[in-house]
């Protein structure tokens, strides 16, 4: 085999691979198709075999600088050109530039008679000539089984096809051979016997009137590959395969928080909102404002100058914009500035897998930081609950891998059981808000609580959720001796309380005044008593002083008298 | 490697189906493989026998001129193409079965 210089991740001694350029396929196959070997693409009519093979050639010629030859056994060159022109492949131009070569092989049984021994050297020579004329590295044979319709001698045909594949290998070209799916076999003529290196099966399934295209790598000798059925999409950009289940739980984790757009809700979530890259489920019964919450979240994201995609499965974009204007959110502003994209599609437009592929493509293209799906419950119309669940798992995995915050809304039926099993995704999401109708006193009110919020402190309280012209708000419910009150009952209770408070303050001030007065009266009384006391005291003091005076006078008099007496006695004694 | 042998003299032919009395044949081969050689010798024999002097035979070797293969939608080797009379007919193989070749070319065999 000639040396190959293909751009692939080459380990020592490992298989060299040729990238197909088909979105997602190279991820599943770990680099592409086996280089220098034939690969078989089989599937039913309309499963996309021809498109697959032509995209392989065109991408090779345009993206990888590998010219290619298309040998068409079914369609004429100009038909082929027309068919793929809708995908933006200009075969004519590429042919002029000598990047590809299209050769239509026409076999008409009515024209051909077989006598004796022959071989298919003519085909080999044509192919060889086409390959050599442009130095082709890639070859497509679409569909070689048509030979079986044109020629009778199966023995020769089989031997020659085997020889053809060996010859292709010797040429060192990477070949794609398409084959129609047969009964109980991969291809009608058992081509898989000859092509043993890589076999890819395309399938087109219709369930519940909704079609899904699937791709499976049946075998890939000498290489690890994804073994699941991968959904793929054919749109104006060709084929996109979604390597959904090859995702692993190893995405980046952010501790950054993003606001929900409702300050009161942020407060319930520990003050700052949700974690970036987390998944948030908003579930609730009909008319509880799930879309409004989602729109606020989108609005908050755009206000942070972060891009946001809004996938709506119920309403067209203009309707969402109009409705949200009524609660004070102008999404149109963000749509015009290019920060917000709203995509509306009925779930029944595609199968679930197709939706997933389409969502992937849009996200990869737009690179948003926030994604909103509103509502996921509508998807059940196109798939069973378990399918929806696997759809969401894969979507969440994909988004978390990219650190994109996602918000789902889900409609719940008005029963307690369903609250726990919203499409079974409640265990997958990081945060779960529940909005519900609370019916009492002849009115319905909305209550919101946080069922869970991983990795952050969050309020366990039920809040009343209010939608006004100015936006959304959360109000503490009234917890009184009469139980939890909400809505007008809460308002009435609040009014009652205000009245009571006013009355109370009034009564208090009255009492205060009385006390004041009493105090003054008492103070007056106290002062008069004081006066009285002082006068009595004065009276008493007067008596005391008089007594003292009298006492001292008497004492003095007595002393005087004593003195006098003593002097008289002395004189009398001298006489004697 | 193109050989031509022309026949100008028209031999009386009472074939009812044949409108024209001249055959333009082209034989595609790829090198001197046994099959090609056999086909060529078989064809020459039949032509001389049944179409003496009213046929033109062109031999195309695709190893020399591979670009000619696509024009006549050649797959198998050897292939004999009847260009004239129309419609175009192709006979593939080493032409070993005389009857089949004659039927395929719509030639009424000359009674011996």
Cβ atoms of residues A435 and A293 within 8 Å: yes
A326 burial (CB, 10 Å; 0-12 / 13-18 / 19+) is exposed
Please name the residues in contact with A111: beta carbons below 8 A apart, sequence gap of 6 or more: B87, B88, B89, B90
- Report the interhelical angle of A317-325 vs A290-303 (nearest 10°): 90
Question: Computed over its alpha carbons, how large is the radius of gyration of chain A?
Answer: 47
Q: Which residues of B touch A (CB under 8 A)?
A: 28, 30, 33, 35, 38-39, 62-63, 66-67, 69-70, 73-79, 87-97, 100-101, 103-104
The shortest C-alpha distance from B40 to chain A (Å) reads 13
| Interchain proximity B88–A147, CB inside 8 Å | no
* Complex confidence, ipTM: 0.78
Phi, psi dihedrals of residue A323, rounded to the nearest 5°: -65, -35
Chain A positions in Cβ-Cβ contact with residue B96 (cut-off 8 Å): 115-117
Task: Walk along chain A (576 residues) and give the pLDDT tens digit of each residue.
Answer: 444 444 444 444 567 888 888 878 888 888 888 888 888 888 888 888 888 888 899 999 988 999 999 998 888 888 888 888 888 888 888 888 888 888 888 888 777 888 888 888 888 888 898 999 999 899 998 888 888 888 888 888 888 888 888 898 998 899 998 888 877 777 777 777 777 788 888 988 887 777 778 888 888 888 777 778 888 888 777 888 876 554 555 556 778 888 888 888 888 888 888 888 888 888 888 788 888 889 889 999 999 899 999 999 888 999 989 988 888 888 888 999 988 999 888 877 777 777 887 888 888 888 899 999 888 877 777 777 777 777 887 788 788 878 889 998 888 765 544 445 555 667 778 888 888 887 777 888 888 888 888 888 888 878 888 888 888 888 877 776 666 777 777 888 888 888 989 999 999 999 999 999 999 999 999 999 999 999 999 999 999 999 999 999 999 999 998 888 887 776 665 554
Chain A positions in Cβ-Cβ contact with residue B106 (cut-off 8 Å): none
Question: What is the longest distance spanned by two Cα atoms in chain A?
Answer: 211
Which two three-digit tokens encode residue A459?
């309020």
Cβ atoms of residues A187 and A145 within 8 Å: yes
| Interchain proximity B93–A116, CB inside 8 Å | yes
DSSP-derived pairing of the beta strands A431-440 and A405-411: unpaired
Please name the residues in contact with A76: beta carbons below 8 A apart, sequence gap of 6 or more: A104, A106
| Interchain proximity A113–B79, CB inside 8 Å | no
Closest CA to B29 of B17, B41, B37: B37
Question: Computed over its alpha carbons, how large is the radius of gyration of chain B?
Answer: 13
The shortest C-alpha distance from B64 to chain A (Å) reads 10
**What is the model's pTM?**
0.67
Closest CA to A359 of A391, A337, A405: A391
Chain A positions in Cβ-Cβ contact with residue B37 (cut-off 8 Å): none
| Interchain proximity A106–B69, CB inside 8 Å | no
Residue the block writes with tokens 């009857």: B99
Closest CA to A350 of A202, A216, A235: A235
The shortest C-alpha distance from A172 to chain B (Å) reads 20
Closest CA to A103 of B80, B28, B67: B67
pLDDT exceeds 70 at position B17: no
Q: CA-CA distances (angstroms) from residue A359 to A155, A234, B98?
A: 49, 14, 66
- Catalytic positions of A are 74, 314
Distance CA(B111)–CA(A417), nearest Å, equals 96
Q: Which of B66, B69, B97 sits opposite A115 (nearest CB)?
A: B97
């Amino acid at each position: 085999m000639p040396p190959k210089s293909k751009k692939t991740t080459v380990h020592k001694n490992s298989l060299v691979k040729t990238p197909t350029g088909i979105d997602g396929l190279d991820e599943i196959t770990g680099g592409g198709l086996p280089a220098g070997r034939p690969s078989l693409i089989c599937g039913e009519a309309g499963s996309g075999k021809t498109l697959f093979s032509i995209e392989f050639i065109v991408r090779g010629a345009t993206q990888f600088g590998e010219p290619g030859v298309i040998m068409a056994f079914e369609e004429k060159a100009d038909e082929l050109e027309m068919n793929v022109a809708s995908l933006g492949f200009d075969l004519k131009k590429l042919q002029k530039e000598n990047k590809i070569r299209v050769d239509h092989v026409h076999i008409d049984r009515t024209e051909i008679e077989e006598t004796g021994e022959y071989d298919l050297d003519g085909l080999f020579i044509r192919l060889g000539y086409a390959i050599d004329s442009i130095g082709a590295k890639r070859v497509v044979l679409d569909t070689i089984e048509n030979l079986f319709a044109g020629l009778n001698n199966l023995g020769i045909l089989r031997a020659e096809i085997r020889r053809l594949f060996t010859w292709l290998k010797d040429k060192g070209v990477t070949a794609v051979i398409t084959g129609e799916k047969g009964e109980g076999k991969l291809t009608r003529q058992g081509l898989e016997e000859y092509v043993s290196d890589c076999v890819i099966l395309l399938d087109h399934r219709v369930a519940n009137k909704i079609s899904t295209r699937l791709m499976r790598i049946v075998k890939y000798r000498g290489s690890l590959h994804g073994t699941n059925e991968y959904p793929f999409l054919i749109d104006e950009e060709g084929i996109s395969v979604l390597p959904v289940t090859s995702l692993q739980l190893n995405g980046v984790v952010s501790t950054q928080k993003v606001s929900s757009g409702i300050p009161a809700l942020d407060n319930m979530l520990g003050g700052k909102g949700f974690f970036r890259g987390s998944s948030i489920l908003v579930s609730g019964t009909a008319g509880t404002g799930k879309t409004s919450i989602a729109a606020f979240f989108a609005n908050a994201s755009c206000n942070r100058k972060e891009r946001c995609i809004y996938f709506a499965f119920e309403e067209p974009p203009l309707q969402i914009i109009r409705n949200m204007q009524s609660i004070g959110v102008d999404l149109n502003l963000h749509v015009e500035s290019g920060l917000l994209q709203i995509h509306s599609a009925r779930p029944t437009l595609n199968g679930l897998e197709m939706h997933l592929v389409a969502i992937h493509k849009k996200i990869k293209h737009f690179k948003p930081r926030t994604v909103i799906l509103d509502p996921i419950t509508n998807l059940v119309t196109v798939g069973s609950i378990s399918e929806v669940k696997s759809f969401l798992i894969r979507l969440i995995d994909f988004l978390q891998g990219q650190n994109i915050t996602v918000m789902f809304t889900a409609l719940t039926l008005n029963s307690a059981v369903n609250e726990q099993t919203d499409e079974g995704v409640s265990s997958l999401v990081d945060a779960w808000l529940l909005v519900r109708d609370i019916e009492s006193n002849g009115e319905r009110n909305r209550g919101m609580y946080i069922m869970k919020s991983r990795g952050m402190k969050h309020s366990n309280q039920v809040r009343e959720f209010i939608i006004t012209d100015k936006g959304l708000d959360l109000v503490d419910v009234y917890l009184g001796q009469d139980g939890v009150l909400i809505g007008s009952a809460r308002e009435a209770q609040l009014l009652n309380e205000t009245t009571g408070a006013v009355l109370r303050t009034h009564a208090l001030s009255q009492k205060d005044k009385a006390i004041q007065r009493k105090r003054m009266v008492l103070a007056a009384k106290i002062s008069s008593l004081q006066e009285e006391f002082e006068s009595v005291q004065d009276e008493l003091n007067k008596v005391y002083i008089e007594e003292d005076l009298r006492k001292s006078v008497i004492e003095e008099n007595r002393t005087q008298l004593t003195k006098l007496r003593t002097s008289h006695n002395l004189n009398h004694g001298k006489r004697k | 490697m193109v050989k031509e042998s022309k026949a100008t003299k028209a031999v009386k032919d009472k074939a009812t189906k044949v409108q024209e009395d001249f055959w333009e044949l082209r034989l595609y081969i790829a090198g001197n493989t046994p099959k090609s050689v056999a086909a060529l010798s078989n064809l020459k024999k039949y032509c001389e026998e049944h179409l003496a002097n009213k046929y033109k035979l062109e031999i195309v070797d695709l190893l020399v001129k591979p670009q000619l293969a696509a024009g006549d939608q050649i797959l198998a080797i050897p292939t004999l193409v009847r260009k004239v009379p129309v419609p175009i007919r192709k006979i593939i193989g080493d032409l070993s079965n005389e009857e089949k070749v004659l039927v395929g070319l719509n030639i009424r065999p000359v009674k011996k």
